[in-house]
Structure 1
Amino acid sequence: MLGVQPNESAGSAMRLLLAEDDQMLGAGLKRTLQRVGYTVDWAMDGEEAIAAARAQDYALILLDLGLPRVDGLQALLEIRAQKDLTPIIILTARDRPDQKVEGLDGGADDYVVKPFDLEELLARIRARIRHSEGRSGDVLVTRGVALDLAARTTTLNDQAVALTAKEFKVLAALMRRMGQFVNKDELESTLYDAAAEVESNTIEVAIYGLRRKLGADLIVTARGLGYMTPLKS
């Protein structure tokens, strides 16, 4: 049993529900999702998934169709019947076109066939959460800061702020993964190609500049984890 209570967590904006009855796949997915910063509740049958969705607000639901007790498709229909608009990604081995149509018409936002690429799934999760929060893929917004990836402009409380190229790239990397820590190596990879010589303090200099221009609380640092831009306050 999940033991989820309504409004259990103040951080529920980044809480996911994983509905998967395969022990090995479910455990691996839960570990991976937790590693990248999500809180994960794991339901192993359809009844448990429906009950969890009623009790807790989730940022997104990952739903297997081949669930015991209540089939995943029926669980999907029951969740949607409750006027629950939580983004739902189906994860399933059912790959016939008519099965995909049935899942999408039933209210799923995306349909991913097993086996799947893990990085692609994580990208789909981020995209669905962005969409549900009203953020487009080109403009990222948090705490008064708006980053337009296409125009390469930055504003703070609707006032233009000039960033260096490196500051912009570092901030874009952080805001694409809001609420998750990004380590220094990952940030360096956004600035340098594999053959380039990396300057040891480049990231620290960029972070200092961003905090000075956009506010000290925009970027959180944790030893051993890296840097993070928090979600909207």
Structure 2
Amino acid sequence: MRLLLVDDDPALTDGLSRLLAGIGYEVELAGDLAMARSALKRGGFDVAILDLVLARGNGLQLLAEFKSLFSTLPVLVLSGCGTLRDKLRAFELGASDYLAKPFEFPELGARLKAICRRHAEPDRHLLRFADLELNLHTHTATLRGEEVALSRREFCILRSLVEHPGQIVTRAVLERAFDRQVRELASNSIEVHIHNLRKKLPAKVIRTVHGLGYTLSVPAA
């Protein structure tokens, strides 16, 4: 599982990254808000750990951004300020759990496992990217809660892109996904359907990487 660790204390992050890797997490470290935003736009994280006390930036502000862009990303908050007010504010902004420093690593590991299990079990049939949600059971898509009318072929292409957030998806990969539903492809079928998808989604969500393929990106605010 991919984990985003947002903390600027090397004394904590060095050891914590090793321990997390030892229990199966692929850890990406972000030491400030800019690095965290960049990592989020690349996407693909299963869970995040966020320290509220950062030298460069407000952890609560970043938590709000996490949940506005990726509403289903579980976030475990760490903080040396374990007051009731701090905890309530973090939960109001969408934190999945809150752990005050100092803490024991086995407790952190158990909490991570619990929140990942909680978030994964109910919606395995749902794929999400920012405000976009795909339902694999009904083959429908919603954007900010409103249904987006997609053809069967458009859904297949969009599913392949959402399944690889932040990665370049080649035309060949899209054709293979497409071909599960339709056996005959016109030479420009992918381009035509990408063009139609762009009309139905926010500007610049589907980005062309010339000569390579397509990728999803979160538009700048």
TM-score tier, shorter chain, comes to: 0.5 to 0.7
The code of the aligned residue for 1:58 comes to F
**Runs of 4+ with deviation above 4 angstroms:** none
Residues 4-62 of structure 1 deviation map (CA, whole Å, 9 limit, x = unaligned): xxxxxxxxxx0000001100101111000011111000000122112212212211100
Residues 191-229 of structure 1 deviation map (CA, whole Å, 9 limit, x = unaligned): xxxxxxxxxxxxxxxxxxxxxxxxxxxxxxxxxxxxxxx
Q: Counterpart in 1 of 2:67? A: 80
Secondary structure of 1:90's match?
Answer: strand
Alpha-carbon separation, structure 2, partners of 1:68 and 1:43: 12
Q: Counterpart in 1 of 2:113? A: 126
1:177-216 → structure 2 map (5 Å cutoff)? none
Q: Counterpart in 2 of 1:107? A: 94
1:1-233 → structure 2 map (5 Å cutoff)? 14-134=1-121
Alpha-carbon separation, structure 2, partners of 1:52 and 1:71: 17
Alpha-carbon separation, structure 2, partners of 1:49 and 1:113: 21
TM-score, length of structure 2 as denominator length: 0.53
CA separation of 1:83/1:60 partners in 2, compared to 1, >3 Å: closer, same or farther? closer
Alpha-carbon separation, structure 2, partners of 1:95 and 1:75: 18
**1:66–1:72 CA contact under 8 A, matched in 2:** yes
Alpha-carbon separation, structure 2, partners of 1:16 and 1:94: 23
Secondary structure of 1:111's match?
Answer: strand
Alpha-carbon separation, structure 1, partners of 2:41 and 2:94: 16
The code of the aligned residue for 2:44 comes to D
In angstroms, what is the RMSD of aligned CA positions?
A: 1.6
- 1:86 deviates by 0.5
Alpha-carbon separation, structure 2, partners of 1:33 and 1:79: 21
The code of the aligned residue for 2:45 comes to Y
TM-score, length of structure 1 as denominator length: 0.51
Aligned residues: 123
Secondary structure of 1:40's match?
Answer: strand
Alpha-carbon separation, structure 2, partners of 1:63 and 1:27: 15
Secondary structure of 2:48's match?
Answer: strand
Unaligned regions of 5+ residues in structure 2, if any? 123-221
Alpha-carbon separation, structure 1, partners of 2:81 and 2:41: 26
